[in-house]
Amino acid sequence: MKSEEVDVSGTEFDVVIVGAGFAGMQMLYRVRELGLRARVFEAGGDVGGTWYWNRYPGARCDVESVEYSYQFSPELQQEWEWTERYATQPEILRYANHVADRFDLRRHIQFDTRVSALVYDETSDRWTVRAATGGEVLARFVIMASGCLSSANLPGFAGMETFAGEVYHTGRWPHEGVDLSGKRVGVVGTGSSGVQAVPVIAEQAGALYVFQRTAAYTLPAGNHPLDPGEQAAIKADYVGFRAQMSLRQSAGNWRVPPNPASIFDATPSEREAEFEARWARGGPGVLGAYADIMVDQEANGFAAEFVRGKIREIVKDPEVAALLSPDQIIGCKRICLDTGYYEAFNRPHVHLVDVATAPIERLTPRGIRTAVDEYELDVIVFATGFDAMTGALLSVDIRGRGGLSLREKWLSGPRTYLGLGVPGFPNLFTVTGPGSPSVLTNMMVSIHHHVNWIGDCLKYLQDHRIASIEASADAEVAWVEHVNEVADKTLYPSCNSWYLGANIPGKTRVFMPLLGFPAYVQRCATVAANGYEGFDLAGDRRSDAGGN
């Protein structure tokens, strides 16, 4: 490790990284390896990103722990022992802290510092990085590692300030925890966060009201303690395991591989058996039961009906079961994984409130008023999601060449080249940005890929004494077209998902991530091998090439 050699004082850096979640930490490790002077700015009080903020009851990862982990260090990979198939938020946060300690990362990270503005100066080819609390530094390169699901979406209901009880958002949960025992709790939202929180809150609350606008498809996680033998078997060839997973479209789901067959070649009983087996294994495997589920509406309908059948089996009250049964394309909104979600509605103190037909009108001093009723509550939990993919990026006022504002450039939706660079914004990289597979994959794999691509790129620039790199306008146009073309061949754009930005009032509907991890990795490798084609590289304007 070279950290001892690196001077972190001063106000000018080779690289500034925004965010100290899993992306920011690995990026820091990589640029430090290159001998670059780096500083990370992190809004939170410690490392962990999403796992630092999302401490709501029941929070755990829906990617298996042996996959949702770093692969940059063989030693780390061997020494860390996961305890469950899906790790809880506290366990993942412990892991993040362990990584920060083990690789001595914290001394390069400035916590409690939200970056509010980034301004590029063409004359000096430097970015000014401004903090919301005041203070600024200069950087040659800025790497946005600010997360895809980190900008909380709190609905602007009338009367928010009038509610006399407590209000929380799952993505901003108090660190000291919240005592819900015996209380009347309202949970608004039934995406992944709500689906995880409901069964656990049901254990504590005196009464639980779940305000559902759109019923979610959720599959049983099938969580269990990790068998040490199973973990050891993966560790015996972790490199091979990781390589195998990166060949999958979603870069993961080792236990339930996708079936390449068409559903139309299966008999009804074969189909049922395939779905049943995948349901029993737990995880998202039902979606991968056949190759055409996400591209053919009829095929999708079989999977959707299978899940609705399960809901009818589990939920005792047929009216509640019907209300919990989604009718949209399964997998169009991100599939949820749960532990006892549908079962929770069999408990007498758990009530499902349909706010699709009778929307929430306002908060009152006593609780939530819908179009037909008022619900008296002590606590309201908003599990209402995030301004995904662009929210955190655009919360920073980013000004590129000629004062070009990223917010203005992206008014009609995000436009990037490879999800890594944006024309008009030289030397600015986005880790798992819009236009890359990111949220459609195991994020740890996409982060690993982008960190290495950016790291290799910085090394190339260093070795070739190139001052600046900027995505070309032509490359951006072609890339955006490609991302849309790929999405349009599937059923993904057919519903109001956060992938499309449809959950945020006023946000332009554009399918933001790119489907298909392996093809994307190939493309990025070709771009790099061809001297970063599609990027404009500016000649040597520096005598102070950073590092060694």
Binding residues for ligand NAP (CB under 6 A): 60-62, 149, 155, 170, 188-194, 196, 211, 213-214, 334, 355, 360, 383-386, 439, 498, 503
CB of residue 384 vs ligand NAP: minimum separation in angstroms? 4
Residue 127: count of CB within 10 angstroms of its CB: 28
Closest residue to ligand NAP using C-beta atoms? 191
CB of residue 495 vs ligand NAP: minimum separation in angstroms? 9
CB of residue 181 vs ligand NAP: minimum separation in angstroms? 23
Positive or negative: CA dihedral 158, 162, 168, 172: positive
The DSSP letter of residue 88 is: B
What is the SS3 assignment for 193?
helix
d(CA 94, CA 353) in angstroms, rounded, equals 36
Nearer to ligand NAP, 192 or 490 (CB): 192
CB of residue 198 vs ligand NAP: minimum separation in angstroms? 11
Nearer to ligand NAP, 26 or 153 (CB): 153
Q: Which helix (H) or strand (E) holds 538?
A: strand 535-538
In order, the DSSP letters of 238-292 are HHHHHHHHTTSTTS--TTSPPP-S-GGGS-HHHHHHHHHHHHHH-SGGGGGSSTT
CA atoms within 13 A on the CB side of 470: 17
CB of residue 149 vs ligand NAP: minimum separation in angstroms? 4
Contact 31, 11 (CB under 8 A): no
Tell which phi-psi region holds residue 179, choosing left (phi > 0), alpha (psi between -120 and 50) or beta: beta
Contact 15, 31 (CB under 8 A): yes
Contact 322, 295 (CB under 8 A): no
Nearer to ligand NAP, 137 or 360 (CB): 360
What is the SS3 assignment for 158?
strand
> To which residue do tokens 């070009």 refer?
404
Nearer to ligand NAP, 338 or 470 (CB): 338
CB of residue 545 vs ligand NAP: minimum separation in angstroms? 40
CB of residue 191 vs ligand NAP: minimum separation in angstroms? 2
CB of residue 332 vs ligand NAP: minimum separation in angstroms? 11
Backbone angles phi, psi at 17, to 5 degrees: -115, 130
Query: Checking DSSP bridges between strand 379-382 and strand 397-399, what pairing results, if any?
Result: unpaired
Nearer to ligand NAP, 23 or 360 (CB): 360
Contact 257, 375 (CB under 8 A): no
- Residue 306's nearest CA partner among 350, 355, 271 is 271
Nearer to ligand NAP, 287 or 439 (CB): 439
The alpha carbons of the chain give a radius of gyration, in whole angstroms, of 24
Nearer to ligand NAP, 58 or 455 (CB): 58
CB of residue 58 vs ligand NAP: minimum separation in angstroms? 9
Residue 440 structure tokens:
């459609």
Residue 75 structure tokens:
């030693």
CB of residue 179 vs ligand NAP: minimum separation in angstroms? 22
Q: What share of the chain is helix, strand, coil (3-state, %, to 5)?
A: 35, 20, 45
CB of residue 121 vs ligand NAP: minimum separation in angstroms? 36
